[in-house]
């Protein structure tokens, strides 16, 4: 099989089919990825992208269908075989050993003999070569655990290249990156492309597809529904193809009608677990009926701000005022803050907001386990717990509507809705929301954004922390920018733009 | 990215896998028996017959099982909080001290003595567990290390007390005076005699029912109460637990206290139910067997009761086997027990992957 130019495609999947019991994860999928292009694959969570890539990388074997690499039919039964066919994978969650150096990580599994010296020398030379050809510079002796997330990802890419990958598969690579790191990644991928490497880029962020890829294939419910030349499509068209219906990317919202100040932070200073000051002299006020967006590159104190306000992290100094009264330190533990009407949707639902091995109905009472609705006496009322979550699943369209299903078995968007339902339904006066749509599919993003605006319109004070500027612009009535743990600026969305905020996020203070 | 290994359905996880593990242990044991020149089929007959074949064997089997239920529950409740309590043996040993002090020194009438002695055993067990629990919660001293050390402290302390302070002065043996009758848990054959039911004279006593009640208590606690919810939350994800307003250090201390109290149940069964006096080393390593029982029972009370009965069968049947087949020594039984622990505990995932692969072809659930 050959393309119009005569060269066979780097990857061709023909009629790939995979079922897990009754669920058809991939239905007769056909995909052609030409050599030397960046090919995007988009789809909602659960559309079958990861299953398809797992088949390509040898984690699963397809029930039916064929894989052709450079026109040759191949059978890929393990990641080792995938590598031998020149397919390299960069996982969303890195497969690195943090205490080892870059060099040692790259060598891992390809040490070249019982003694390391010869292999290390060869790999070091290869790394130097790659640094020159692809501008992929990393200090080979740096400890991986001390590198930024962006550099760790670069190490993952280097690992694949050193093993001779001609085709790189990146599974939602930007989910863990800051905007500037994502830009660097894109530059890197463009260089790789210019050197005739083939890149398969999986994402559900349409902006990335538009700015990076040459071609894009859309998956929906296990099927490959369309392939476009990126230059001849548009985000609305892609969104339509993904969800099979019209999606409003811009949220309709009326102007805010802010009321009285509900929450006030005065000179907050917060340290992290290692004693490093992560928040310095942060002051702001939050009114009822407004959304205050906190923008900033990830890791500039937003997490510590949310944790301090939610009572999880103690203040080194400063005061938190609620409804015009200062909160004493003793009244600031998570339980007390909830009782005072401060809801908290944490940034990391996997690690903080939910307990993955618990049933959904159990995760859905985390933080509220003392409430009488779940059982008035010594024992829980299981019926009430399940009924309560069943009602929320109905109201928030959580799928599948199975309160007793393990939390981990829900998709990202549905997990986030479990958290939102839990926090919003308590009718808090203040709600702290961290990264509400991280790793969430487009349909759920729209739903979550509408809920947040509805909360504001109901007179709640909303503090929204997001590293997605689009999200900040879509939702916030007022924008606070954090950089290095300090407030570098405050803006009204209609009086600013991405460039202006970008400067503030980089720490360049300027008058509005 | 989903993992290629799908979770097993519950029935396979709870019943099939342990069954395969135990079968594997018995097959290997059979080969060992064969190697020393005995007939493995015959050996199994003697083992099962000796443990379950008559009422006397059954009595001993259930007596041992009672001890294993208590120690298994003690280990399991800590598992749920993400803690590994290796000190059940020492906690049970101290529990025996509590029971003995009540029985020897409190002048209480009739069976009110044992009514006080049982909580005293739990209290002493809990108090001894409290120290490692506190150190884990407040000082981050790893509970595995501290509880191992505390087993030695218990052993040395009890040795000292039994030789120097509590010893029956008319005896050379390091053991106390016998307890008054009111300080004993009635044995089953005594209770059944007035009813006209003949039950052989075995140490099986009412502690067996106390152990079953403890299993029900642990189940209700873990899956039906707020404390159990918080224990499980801390065990699975302490960060999320803190977010949910739970204090992990409080939960760690409470859980170790409960674990130590359950360990005291071993002393109730052996000291109050059978020995009727405090003796040296009465725990006989049963606290460690509790780890195997908890692992095999997957920290679930039903599984623990079943695993405890299996270990009871091995103990009682093993003794019979050593008696009837001279070439199979007592050590051989330890080998068999060791193999069960090895397959059910250390190698519990050995058959998981093939079984999962086998089941995946027909029934396993897809990722959602």
| DSSP characters over B61-75 | HHHHHHHHHHHHHHH
Average pLDDT over residues A150-159: 89
Domain membership flag for residue A1: no
Report the residue of chain B nearest A410, measured CA to CA.
Answer: B368
Distance CA B171, CA A48 (A): 77
Q: Please tell me the predicted confidence (pLDDT) of residue A406.
A: 92
- The reply to whether residue B243 touches residue A362, judged by beta carbons under 8 angstroms, is no
- Portion of chain A with pLDDT greater than 90, in percent: 52
B232 contacts chain A (CB < 8 A): yes
pLDDT of residue B368: 41
Could you tell me which residues are beta bridge partners of residue A69? A11, A72
Instruction: Report the pLDDT value the prediction gives residue A505, as an integer from 0 to 100.
Output: 78
Q: Do A174 and A282 reside in the same domain of the chain? A: no
Kindly state whether residues A200 and A297 are assigned to the same domain: no
Q: A362 to chain B: nearest residue by CA?
A: B229
- Neighbour-count burial for B173-204, b at 16+ CB within 10 Å, e otherwise: ebbbbebbebbbbebbbeeeeeeeeebeebbb
Distance of CA B209 to the CA centre of its chain: 15
> Which whole-number Å values give the CA distances from A408 to A216, A418, B367, in the listed order?
29, 12, 10
Give the residue from A89, A366, A375, A432 with the most B CB atoms within 10 Å of its CB, the best one to mutate: A366
Relative to beta strand A317-322, strand A215-220 is: unpaired
pLDDT tier at A439 (50, 70, 90 boundaries)? Answer: confident
Alpha carbons A318 and A13: distance in angstroms, whole number: 59
A23 pLDDT above the threshold of 70: no
Higher pLDDT, A244 or A369: A369
Residue B143: what pLDDT?
Answer: 95
Instruction: Please tell me the distance from the alpha carbon of residue B288 to that of residue B286, in angstroms, as a whole number.
Output: 5
B239 touches chain A (CB under 8 A): yes
Task: Determine the Cα–Cα distance for residues B210 and B265; give it in Å rounded to an integer.
Answer: 8
Determine, for residues B239 and A351 on separate chains, whether the beta-carbon distance falls below 8 Å. yes
Higher pLDDT, A285 or A235: A285
Residue A211 makes CB contacts below 8 A (sequence gap 6+) with: A186
By CA distance, what is A332's nearest residue in B? Answer: B245
Write out chain A residues lying below 8 Å of B4, CB-based: 54, 59-60
pLDDT of A2: 41
End-to-end C-alpha distance for chain B, whole angstroms: 12
Residue with tokens 């998981």: B352
Which sign does the torsion angle of CA B84, B86, B92, B94 carry?
negative
pLDDT in tens, B23-74: 888 899 889 889 888 888 998 899 999 999 999 999 999 999 999 999 999 9
Distance from CA of B284 to the nearest CA of A (A): 36
Query: Are the C-beta atoms of residues A11 and A68 closer than 8 Å to each other?
Result: yes
pLDDT value for A245 = 55
Across A125-134, A223-232, B78-87, B356-365, the highest mean pLDDT is recorded for B78-87
Contact B264, B125 (CB under 8 A): yes
Assess B368–A contact: CB distance below 8 Å, yes or no. yes
Residue A70 lies in a domain: yes
The answer to whether residue A248 sits within a structural domain is: no
Q: Which two tokens stand for residue A214?
A: 């040459």
Residue B366 sits at the chain A interface (C-beta within 8 Å): yes
CB contact under 8 A, B240 and A353: yes
A201: domain CATH number?
Answer: 3.40.50.300
Q: B224 and A22: CB-CB below 8 Å?
A: no
- Decide if A111 is inside a domain: yes
d(CA B158, CA B176): 12
Note whether B226 contacts A: Cβ–Cβ < 8 A.
yes
Give the closest of A92, A333, A352 to B240, CB-based: A352
Phi-psi map region of A21: left, alpha, beta (phi>0 left; psi -120 to 50 alpha): left
d(CA B49, CA B54): 7
Q: Are residues A228 and A276 in the same domain?
A: no
In this predicted model, what pLDDT tens digit does every residue of A339-348 receive, in sequence order? Answer: 999 999 999 8
Indicate whether A182 and A279 sit together in one domain.
no
- How far apart are the C-alpha atoms of B257 and B295, rounded to whole Å? 20
- Cα–Cα dist B32/A100, whole Å: 44
CA distance B217 to A294: 48
Q: What's residue B104's pLDDT?
A: 94
Q: CB–CB of A236/A38 below 8 Å?
A: no
Domain shared by A273 and A168, yes or no: no
Interface of A with B in 295-314 (CB under 8 A): 310, 312
Q: Are residue A270 and residue A213 in the same domain, yes or no?
A: no
Distances (CA, A) of A198 to A13, A88, A193, A301, B270: 15, 10, 6, 37, 71
pLDDT of residue B365: 46
B367 touches chain A (CB under 8 A): yes
Residues of chain B whose pLDDT is less than 70? 1-7, 14, 361-368
Whether residue A265 is found in the same domain as residue A232: no
Residue span of the structural domain in which A394 resides: 261-505
Number of domains in chain A: 2
Residue of A18, A19, A20, A373 to mutate, testing the B interface (most B Cβ within 10 Å of its Cβ): A20
In a domain, A35, yes or no: yes
Nearest to B243 among A19, A346, A380 (CB): A346
Phi and psi angles of residue A221, each rounded to the nearest 5 degrees, phi first = 50, 50
Which of A:346-365 have CB within 8 Å of B?
346, 351-358, 362, 365
Distance separating alpha carbons of residues B290 and B292, to the nearest angstrom: 5
Q: Which of A215, A243, A271 is the last residue of a domain?
A: A243
Same domain, A238 and A267: no
B293 compared with A206, residue with greater pLDDT: B293
pLDDT of amino acid A50: 82
Q: Distance (Å, rounded) from C-alpha A110 to C-alpha A157?
A: 15
Q: Which DSSP string corresponds to A334-381?
A: HHHHHHTTEEEE-S-IIIII--TTSBHHHHTTTT-TT-GGG-SSSB--
Nearest 5°: the CA angle B130, B133, B139 is 125
Is residue A209 domain-resident?
yes
Asked if B236 is an interface residue toward chain A (Cβ–Cβ < 8 A), one would say yes
Q: In Å, what is the CA distance from B224 to each residue of A177, A242, A360, B261, B301?
A: 41, 42, 16, 20, 13
The answer to whether residue A244 scores a pLDDT higher than 80 is: no
Identify the pLDDT of residue A503: 77
Check B230 against A333: CB less than 8 A apart: no
Least CA distance to B237: which residue of chain A? A355
State how far the Cα of A388 lies from the Cα of A373, in Å rounded to an integer.
9
Return the SS3 of A19: strand
Which residue reads 């349409």 in tokens?
A: A206
Q: Is the Cβ pair B229, A378 closer than 8 Å?
A: no
For residue B361, the distance in angstroms to the closest alpha carbon of chain A comes to: 7
- The distance of Cα A121 from the centroid of its chain, to the nearest Å, equals 37
Q: Which domains does chain B have, with CATH numbers?
A: 21-352 (1.10.3470)
pLDDT interval class at A389 (50, 70, 90): very high
Closest-CA residue to B244 (of A327, A435, A352): A352
Å between B39 CA and nearest CA of chain A: 45
Distance CA A408, CA A415 (A): 8
Of A46, A369, A410, the CB nearest to B226: A369
A54 touches chain B (CB under 8 A): yes
**Residues A160, A78 share a domain:** yes
> What is the C-alpha separation between B22 and B15, in angstroms, rounded?
11
Distance in Å, alpha carbon of A465 to nearest chain B alpha carbon: 17
Contact B107, B323 (CB under 8 A): no
- Flag whether A128 is in a domain: yes
Structure-model confidence comparison of residues B94 and A43, the more confident one: B94
Q: Which residue of B has its CA nearest to A354?
A: B240
- Chain A closest-CA separation from residue B230 CA (Å): 9
Residue A220 shares a structural domain with residue A285: no
* pLDDT at residue A512 in the model: 47
Domain end position, chosen among A216, A243, A270: A243
Q: Comparing A386-400, A408-422, A445-459, B353-367, which segment has the lowest mean pLDDT?
A: B353-367
Q: Which of B239, B243, B366 is closest, CB to CB, to A367?
A: B243
Q: What pLDDT, on the 0 to 100 scale, is given for residue A150? A: 82
A193 and A306 part of one domain: no
For chain A, helix (H) and strand (E) counts, in that order, are 16, 20
In the prediction, which pLDDT does A390 show? Answer: 96
Q: How far is residue A218 from each of residues A60, A193, A208, B274, measured CA to CA in Å?
A: 21, 21, 14, 73
pLDDT greater than 90 at residue A420: yes
Question: Residues A382, A339: one domain?
Answer: yes
The answer, for A202 touching chain B at a CB cutoff of 8 Å, is no
- Looking at chain A, which residue has its C-alpha nearest residue B363? A21
Give the distance, in angstroms, between the CA of residue B142 and the centroid of all CA atoms in the same chain.
Answer: 22
User: Can you say whether residue A275 is alpha, beta or left, with left for phi > 0 and alpha for psi between -120 and 50 degrees?
Assistant: left
The ipTM is 0.83
Where is B34: in which H helix or E strand? Answer: helix B17-35
Q: Is B243's CB within 8 Å of A344's CB?
A: yes
In a domain, A425, yes or no: yes
CB contact under 8 A, A409 and B368: yes
């Amino acid at each position: 099989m050959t393309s119009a130019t005569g060269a066979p495609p780097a990857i061709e999947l023909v009629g790939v089919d995979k079922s897990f019991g009754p669920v058809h994860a991939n239905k007769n999928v056909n995909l052609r990825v030409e050599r030397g292009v960046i090919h995007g694959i988009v789809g909602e969570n659960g559309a079958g992208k990861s299953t398809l890539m797992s088949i390509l990388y040898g984690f699963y074997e397809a029930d039916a269908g064929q894989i052709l690499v450079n026109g040759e039919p191949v059978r890929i039964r393990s990641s080792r075989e995938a590598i031998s066919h020149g397919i390299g994978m960069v996982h969303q969650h890195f497969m690195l050993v943090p205490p080892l150096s870059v060099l040692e990580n790259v060598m891992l599994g390809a040490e070249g003999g019982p003694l390391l010296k010869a292999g290390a020398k060869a790999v070091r030379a290869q790394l130097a070569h790659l640094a020159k050809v692809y501008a992929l510079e990393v200090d080979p002796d740096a400890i991986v655990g001390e590198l930024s997330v962006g550099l760790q990802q670069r190490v993952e890419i280097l690992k694949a290249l050193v093993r001779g990958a001609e085709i790189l598969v990146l599974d939602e690579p930007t989910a863990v990156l800051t905007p500037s790191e994502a830009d660097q990644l894109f530059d890197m991928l463009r260089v790789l492309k210019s050197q005739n490497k083939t890149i398969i880029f999986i994402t559900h962020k349409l902006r990335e597809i538009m700015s990076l890829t040459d071609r894009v294939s859309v998956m929906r419910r296990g099927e490959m529904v369309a392939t476009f030349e990126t230059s001849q499509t548009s985000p609305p068209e892609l969104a339509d193809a993904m969800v099979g219906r019209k999606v409003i990317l811009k949220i309709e919202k009326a102007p805010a009608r802010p009321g009285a100040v509900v929450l006030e932070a005065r000179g907050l200073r917060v340290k992290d677990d290692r004693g490093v000051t992560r928040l310095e002299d942060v002051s702001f006020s939050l009114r009822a009926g407004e959304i205050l967006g906190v923008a900033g590159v990830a890791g500039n104190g937003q997490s510590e701000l949310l944790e301090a306000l939610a009572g999880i992290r103690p203040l080194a100094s400063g005061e938190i005022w609620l409804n015009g009264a200062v909160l004493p330190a003793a009244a600031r533990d998570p339980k007390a803050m909830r009782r005072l009407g401060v809801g908290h949707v944490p940034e990391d639902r996997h690690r903080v907001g939910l307990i993955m091995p618990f049933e959904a109905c159990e995760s859905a009472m985390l933080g509220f386990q003392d409430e009488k609705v779940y059982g008035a006496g010594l024992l829980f009322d299981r019926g009430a717990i399940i009924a309560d979550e069943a009602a929320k699943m109905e109201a928030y369209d959580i799928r599948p509507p199975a309160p007793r299903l393990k939390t981990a078995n829900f998709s990202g968007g549905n997990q986030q809705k479990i958290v939102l339902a839990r926090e919003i339904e308590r009718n808090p006066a203040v709600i702290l929301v961290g990264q509400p749509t991280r790793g969430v599919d487009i349909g759920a993003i729209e739903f979550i954004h509408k809920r947040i605006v509805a909360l504001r319109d109901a007179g709640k004070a909303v503090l929204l922390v997001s590293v997605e500027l689009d999200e900040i612009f879509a939702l916030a009535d007022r924008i606070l920018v954090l950089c290095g743990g300090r407030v570098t600026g405050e803006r009204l969305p209609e009086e600013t733009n991405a460039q202006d905020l970008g400067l503030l996020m980089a720490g360049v203070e300027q008058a509005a | 990215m989903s993992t290629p290994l799908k979770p097993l359905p519950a029935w396979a996880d709870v019943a099939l896998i342990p069954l395969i593990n135990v079968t594997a242990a018995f097959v290997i044991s059979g080969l060992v028996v064969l190697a020393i020149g005995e007939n493995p089929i015959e050996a199994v007959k003697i083992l099962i017959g000796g443990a379950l074949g008559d009422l006397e064997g059954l009595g001993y089997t259930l007596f041992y099982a009672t001890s294993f239920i208590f120690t298994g529950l003690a280990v399991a409740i800590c598992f749920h909080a993400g803690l590994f309590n290796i000190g059940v043996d020492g906690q049970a040993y101290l529990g025996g001290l509590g029971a003995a002090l009540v029985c020897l020194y409190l002048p209480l009438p009739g069976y009110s003595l044992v009514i006080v002695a049982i909580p005293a055993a739990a209290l002493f067990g809990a108090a001894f567990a409290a120290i490692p629990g506190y150190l884990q919660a407040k000082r981050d001293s790893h509970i595995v290390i501290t509880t191992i050390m505390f087993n030695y402290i218990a052993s040395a302390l009890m040795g000292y007390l039994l030789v120097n302070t509590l010893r029956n002065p008319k005896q050379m043996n390091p053991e106390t005076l016998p307890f008054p009758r009111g300080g004993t848990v009635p044995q089953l054959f005594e209770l059944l005699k007035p009813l006209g039911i003949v039950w052989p004279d075995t140490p099986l006593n009412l502690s067996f029912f106390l152990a079953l009640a403890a299993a029900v208590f642990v189940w209700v606690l873990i899956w039906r109460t707020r404390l159990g919810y918080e224990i499980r939350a801390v065990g699975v994800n302490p960060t999320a637990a803190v977010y949910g307003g739970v204090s992990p250090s409080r939960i760690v201390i409470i859980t170790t206290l409960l674990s130590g109290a359950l360990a005291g149940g071993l002393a109730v069964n052996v000291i109050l139910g059978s020995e009727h006096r405090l003796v040296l080393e009465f725990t006989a390593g049963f606290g460690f067997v509790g780890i195997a029982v908890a692992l095999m029972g997957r920290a679930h009370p039903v599984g623990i009761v079943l695993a405890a009965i299996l270990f009871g069968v091995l103990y009682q049947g093993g003794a019979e086997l050593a008696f009837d087949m001279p070439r199979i020594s007592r050590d051989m039984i330890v080998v068999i027990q060791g193999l069960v622990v090895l397959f059910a505990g250390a190698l519990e995932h050995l058959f998981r992957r093939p079984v999962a692969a086998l089941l995946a072809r027909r029934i396993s659930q897809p990722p959602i």
